[in-house]
Chains A and B, each alone.
Chain A
């Protein structure tokens, strides 16, 4: 048993780190439990010539491939998409392309505007100052003034020039007259903060940034939280939350680095363990009061799971595009097809994330819809024609919440500590399928307008489950939601959730900046109301 903290934060990723920082800065005694470890910057693969092979192993995005001691398995036999995550200080912001578009105002009013899903119990304008504060704090690159989005504060750094890759995209976008804008990116192009260097465009941000240019949680919120007095305990695998006899959460039982079971007590507990880890933990926290899992009187914990279903469309060009150079995921965003258009045969919309292309090994192996290059006499010619001659469009559709898409506990597998693994049951809806089909056609049109001689696509990309949302959703009605508008559990007054689990709907954009804005908003509310809610 350890000293009681004011606040226990579970998870040192995007959301947990942000909330821990805000509460520590306000003078609260904060303890963070993180099942992973610090990644030593010198061990990032980009420091080695053979860096690409680590994508297949320890730096793979899929925990079922990595199988590191700090990972937990996810049973995906009933899902056409593999969930991706990383377990370390910084969480999945280490395996991150840093693409941070915001939700639009309409994304918070889906039921009102389109008659499906639900409205959020807050609106864009309430969240806007937290978006701005988060951007200013972590350091972002981009350009204010996109008329397709509400105005926002100036970005920390301006975007770099389009380069050959961007110019090729813009050639097509201008021909078609579509919306485009330089991506808002969570990266810095000049030194910023403590020990962070400007991006030098090395390329594979998705396996972590070795120079701190990506504004990941482990180089922003986590070290600052510690400077403000927060205690970070790594390799701490939480087994379950502990309930006291008042029906409040008293803290968490966790396995420490040596495998010993410990209990961390706290007056308030905040979960930031992602859209799969958080429901897994709640479902495993059973008691007489909550026989089906903590905060689950509504039977909504684990339900309404949303991905952003993705189809990847790739074009190959005669010209050399230098498309292996630069931050892979943050170049241009097209929101031409963002809002609902009944003519598409589907509600809601999608974004076209126009990204860079494959590295040498990826090219040979065939990334996304790319084919494995032939072996033998024609191999080098094929590689010459493909490598740095490709553009890749990520069609990212808004997924709608459906109760049958859910996270449960596996009855057949466990993690290294014997805790039940997560099981994911997910079916792609007809609406999401229709959005992807429309997006594939439009992305193909764009690549051809840009000059591609060959265009291929995946109808649904399996290894693209980056965004995990909806499994403890917000709402005003405790019978059909898990947390209220502040992320506070309806059932347990001193339990808060701040990760993507609390999303009511998913919008068609990458969620991290919205997750961090929500986390900071919850933290501000907690600072003000701490004594009212603390156990």
Chain B
């Protein structure tokens, strides 16, 4: 992780090749682009996170590698100049992703799930949306110390349906 706690500066994957990792970063930036204070996926290390998941879970390899392969093939069809997905304009990239989402929905969904998981478990993202990173030991301790006002239950005490004697 870098100084902000993000994993974005790890260059190489364990399972993914450098080319696959580069493609994944470009794809993820279309899936989760930057917006205001929210960083784009590539700045969070979501790609390295997915590589980690692939190393730990062999069940993810077929769908995610399959999705990347499908994106590569679709890119080749749409890009006669063979510049590669990362070099296309945003509209073209999105068109390719929509095409793969339609043709390989299970694989694409797996890629999306793991991208969201990698993105929202990144400390820099968690800091932006205001959740402790990690949750422990801080939690949200103050909310558990505020006391309940029993007067809120006055109506219920007066009107509740009784339990049936049996």
Contacts and interface: CB of A to CB of B under 8 A. Distances in A.
Interface of A: 44, 46-53, 56-57, 104-106, 108-109, 112-113, 123-124, 143, 145-150, 158-163, 170, 174, 177, 179-182, 189, 198-204, 210-211, 322, 324-326, 335-336, 338-339, 359-361, 363-365, 372-373, 375-377, 379-381, 383, 387
B36 to A, nearest CB: 7
Contacts of A177: 155, 159
Contacts of A363: 120
Interface in B66-113: 94, 97, 109, 112-113
Most buried by A among B119, B123, B143, B155: B143
Contacts of B38: 380
A147 B120 contact: no
Interface residues of B, number: 61
A145 B120 CA distance: 42
The 8 closest A-B pairs by CB, nearest first: A200-B139, A202-B139, A161-B146, A50-B121, A380-B35, A109-B166, A360-B120, A364-B116
Given A49-B122, A364-B120, A202 B132 contact: yes
Given A105-B163, A113-B164, A147-B162, A47 B36 contact: no
B3 interface: no
Contacts of B152: 162, 170
A201 B113 CA distance: 26
B126 A49 contact: yes
B143 to A, nearest CB: 5
A174 B135 contact: no
A104 B56 CA distance: 47
Contacts of A159: 148
Contacts of A383: 129
B142 to A, nearest CB: 8
A376 B96 CA distance: 13
B33 A372 contact: no
A198 to B, nearest CB: 7
B15 interface: no
Interface string B129-164: 101111111111101111111101101110111111
Given A182-B148, A189-B144, A376-B33, 14 more contacts: A49-B123, A51-B134, A52-B121, A158-B148, A163-B143, A179-B160, A198-B144, A202-B135, A202-B139, A202-B140, A360-B120, A361-B121, A365-B113, A383-B129
Contacts of A201: 139-141, 143-144
Nearest to A210: B136
B92 to A, nearest CB: 13
Contacts of B159: 177
Most buried by B among A158, A181, A202: A202
Interface in B16-66: 30-33, 35-36, 38, 49, 53, 56-57
Most buried by B among A44, A159, A324, A375: A375
Contacts of B144: 160, 189, 198-201, 326
11 contacts: A47-B136, A49-B5, A49-B134, A113-B164, A174-B155, A177-B159, A182-B148, A201-B143, A375-B31, A375-B97, A380-B38
Contacts of B165: 105
Contacts of A149: 163
B117 interface: yes
Interface on chain A toward B: helix, strand, loop, or mixed SS?
loop
Contact of A160 (B148, B156, B163): B148
A24 to B, nearest CB: 32
Contacts of B109: 372
Given A364-B116, A376-B31, A179 B161 contact: yes
A357 B133 CA distance: 18
Nearest to B125: A360
B148 A211 contact: no
A375 B117 CA distance: 13
Contacts of A211: 136-137
A380 B113 CA distance: 15
Given A203-B135, A211-B136, A336-B161, A49 B121 contact: yes
Given A182-B148, A200-B141, A381-B35, A46 B49 contact: no
A46 B133 CA distance: 9
A378 to B, nearest CB: 9
Contact of A147 (B131, B133, B134, B160): B160
A76 B34 CA distance: 41
A528 to B, nearest CB: 27
Contacts of B160: 146-148, 179
A113 B166 contact: yes
Contacts of A359: 131
A352 to B, nearest CB: 14
B163 A48 contact: no
A365 B120 CA distance: 11
A358 B138 CA distance: 19
Nearest to A361: B120
A339 B164 contact: yes
A154 B119 CA distance: 45
A387 to B, nearest CB: 6
A161 B147 contact: yes
Contacts of A379: 31-33, 35
A123 B112 CA distance: 52
A57 to B, nearest CB: 7
A50 B148 contact: no
A339 B165 CA distance: 12
A446 to B, nearest CB: 14
A143 B148 contact: yes
A199 B152 CA distance: 23
Contacts of A198: 144
Contacts of B148: 143, 158-162, 182
B166 A160 contact: no
B87 to A, nearest CB: 19
A52 B119 CA distance: 11
A161 B141 contact: no
